[in-house]
Structure 1
Amino acid sequence: MASTDNVISAVQKYYHDGSEYLIPVGLDDDEVIAVSNFIEAQGLGFMLYDSNDLSKFAPLSYNNRVAGFSVPTDDTHQNIASAATVGRVGGLTVGSFDFANKTGLVGILAQDQLNFQQNQLEPYTQANVNTYYYAQGTPILRDGKTLSGNYIDTFVGLDWVIRHSNTALTDVMIKNNKLPFNATGINVLEAALNSVFSTAWGNGIVADKDDGTMDATVTALPVDELKNADVSARKYKGLSWSYKPANSIDDAYITGQITL
């Protein structure tokens, strides 16, 4: 217990420095699970975990905010696919990428091009563990999923929205000498969040509705729907949002016909 407590204390110290990904290195199984549980409880950030042993991932699969990576190793290549993946997408705009089909992972050894057969991919797919293998002659990362079976980019997009929402509200408070606790002040807060979602939509985080408009809603309750105690304490707790995350195409299938 003392060991896991020390690890969590170290994680807590730097957790809110703005980093999105945490990659545990040199931790034992209990410490890895403790870190995963901590991140899950925060509802912000993501753990990327590497192991050559697929059985190591199962105890983590009940958490949404963890993804597993497993690739071959040799004398010059280590199992650091998670770090290589972050390096591959780190400079891209959130919403403009997902994690499937990424190639060019620096320093990573792909599954053997000749000996790794499609049926050997099944254990990785079933465990929702990402690996690096050859498809049509090019090494690619598949499938960009979390261990719980969701998609990593969905949570990265969610975290972008959370962080930028909080930043937008802080900026409003700083830039206005006073926000009146009435419809005028509330409208300023609502407009700040709408701006965040407009950017998120343009970046590809938020989906389109059938009519081509943004599939997101920002709600700002009027003063008369708030608790008197919150109003007296100058705390506006009437903001909320919801959105549908944008989807991606990770596979394409062809049906062909030849007429002779």
Structure 2
Amino acid sequence: MPLKDVTVKIQIKKAARLTGLGKPALLAALAGPSSYSNYSEPEQIAEIFGEDSIAHKIATTLLKQGDSSPETMGIITYDPNATDDTPKTAAKALQQHFDEDFYFVVADTQAVADVKAIADVVEGEGIKMFATTITKLEDAESLQLYKYERTFAAYHETAGEYVAEAWVGGHGSKEVGSITWMNKKLVGITPQAFSVAKLTDIEILNMQTFVTKSGHNVMSEGKTLSGEYIDVVHSKDWLIVNGANAIQEQLIANDKVAYTDKGIALLASSLDNVLLAGVAQDMISVTDNIPDYAITTLSRAQSNAADRAARIYKGLGFSFQLAGAIHKVPVKGEMII
């Protein structure tokens, strides 16, 4: 993992330099040593992987979703026929390059064993998210058993289309917290004409599909395989990364952050700036014009002497109320004659 002096942990309690975290990386098969490279145009990928390759098709889907498409995407290669230490599977390659600068993971394989192995890596790391397209209901049922919080899957029966990857390309780079992943439009994806019963079966599995609602072609829901909402996990990661970065920058920018109440206040103010940005991005709720978050600190006098000697400050914490989103609106009407 990258070197750092700051760790941030968030527990989600229901009821009660900013990093965007929107860049995707594609796991793709290619002969030779495993590598990580960035690309901005599908044509660059076609030159390496071939015009008819799955990698090129997914890259085109990702990068051609309109104005909100990512400027660049990463590609992590693996070699299924490797005879040396080169990763032979997508999951092994992901593990090797996990600390590169990307957030969303997609892959050129939809085999259940591969999808599970990739999901296991992402879940084990506790950061980033994996998106996959599922084409068979039995595969969907198999994956749902694992309740992955960091994997979301889109069910799609039109051959050669990558709906989850289009979803990431069209909306993953938007400001974290500013969107819900439900009801999102996609470019180049065929809406599925499923019955209400089949759509219910898909959503019971905590998956979603691309359907027509009131004349608009949109994603039916926005959940991970655990049943948590994608934007909740994305928001949590944004706060972890940016909270840690803000405090780390203070430790680097200042010749010294003294172990005094003034130094403690400096660290708290850095965290406050991140939480205010979370409010601005509709990540954190507001009640009566007051942001629903709190920062807690322990004074120097309240800190542990052993911690002071080791130069470790454990007294900084925060809580917040998630803004959430409205997905369904039951309306009662009355007709008066």
| Structure 1 and Structure 2 fold alike (TM over 0.5) | yes
Percent of residue pairs bearing the same amino acid type? 26
Matches within 5 A, 1:115-134: 116-134=194-212
Aligned to 1:243: 320
The alignment partner of 1:19 has SS state of coil
Alignment partner of 1:83 is 2:169:
no
Matches within 5 A, 1:61-76: 61-74=146-159
Distance (Å, rounded) in 2 between the aligned partners of 1:171 and 1:145: 33
Do the aligned partners of 2:110 and 2:134 also contact (CA within 8 Å) in 1? no
Select the residue among 143, 146, 152 that pairs with 1:59: 143
Distance (Å, rounded) in 1 between the aligned partners of 2:106 and 2:303: 41
Select the residue among 58, 82, 95 that pairs with 2:177: 95
* AA of the residue aligned to 1:88: G
* Residues 27 and 235 (structure 1), Cα distance of their counterparts in 2 relative to 1, 3 Å cut: farther
Q: How many residues align?
A: 251
Aligned to 1:111: 192
Aligned to 1:197: 275
Do the aligned partners of 1:200 and 1:206 also contact (CA within 8 Å) in 2? yes
* AA of the residue aligned to 2:284: V
| Aligned-pair Cα RMSD in Å | 2.3
Do the aligned partners of 1:20 and 1:156 also contact (CA within 8 Å) in 2? no
Matches within 5 A, 1:1-260: 7-26=90-109, 28-57=111-140, 58-60=142-144, 61-74=146-159, 77-78=160-161, 80-103=162-185, 105-112=186-193, 116-209=194-287, 211-260=288-337
Shift of 1:46: 1.0
Do the aligned partners of 1:4 and 1:30 also contact (CA within 8 Å) in 2? no
The answer to which of 216-225 and 157-166 deviates more is 216-225
Q: TM-score, normalised by structure 2?
A: 0.68
Q: Higher helix proportion, which one?
A: 1
* AA of the residue aligned to 1:257: E
Distance (Å, rounded) in 2 between the aligned partners of 1:246 and 1:17: 30
* Residues 130 and 184 (structure 1), Cα distance of their counterparts in 2 relative to 1, 3 Å cut: same
Shift of 1:216: 1.7
The alignment partner of 1:129 has SS state of coil
* AA of the residue aligned to 1:203: Q
Shift of 1:90: 3.1
The alignment partner of 1:102 has SS state of coil
* AA of the residue aligned to 1:132: F
Distance (Å, rounded) in 1 between the aligned partners of 2:182 and 2:197: 19
* Residues 17 and 245 (structure 1), Cα distance of their counterparts in 2 relative to 1, 3 Å cut: farther
Do the aligned partners of 2:147 and 2:227 also contact (CA within 8 Å) in 1? no
The answer to which of 145-154 and 27-36 deviates more is 27-36
Do the aligned partners of 1:145 and 1:151 also contact (CA within 8 Å) in 2? yes
The alignment partner of 2:276 has SS state of helix
Q: Which string of whole-angstrom CA distances, capped at 9 and with x for unpartnered residues, describes residues 223-260 of structure 1?
A: 34444443222222322222221111112233333333
Q: Which string of whole-angstrom CA distances, capped at 9 and with x for unpartnered residues, describes residues 204-238 of structure 1?
A: 111224x4422222222223444444322222232
Distance (Å, rounded) in 1 between the aligned partners of 2:328 and 2:253: 46
The answer to which of 80-89 and 16-25 deviates more is 16-25
**Larger RCO of the pair (alpha carbons < 8 Å, separation 6+):** 2
Distance (Å, rounded) in 2 between the aligned partners of 1:235 and 1:141: 46
Do the aligned partners of 2:136 and 2:157 also contact (CA within 8 Å) in 1? no
Distance (Å, rounded) in 1 between the aligned partners of 2:110 and 2:133: 11
Distance (Å, rounded) in 2 between the aligned partners of 1:24 and 1:14: 14
The answer to which of 26-35 and 90-99 deviates more is 26-35
Distance (Å, rounded) in 2 between the aligned partners of 1:90 and 1:126: 24
Distance (Å, rounded) in 1 between the aligned partners of 2:147 and 2:199: 22
* Residues 7 and 87 (structure 1), Cα distance of their counterparts in 2 relative to 1, 3 Å cut: closer
Do the aligned partners of 1:4 and 1:34 also contact (CA within 8 Å) in 2? no
* Residues 11 and 200 (structure 1), Cα distance of their counterparts in 2 relative to 1, 3 Å cut: same
Do the aligned partners of 2:176 and 2:283 also contact (CA within 8 Å) in 1? yes
The answer to which of 3-12 and 32-41 deviates more is 3-12
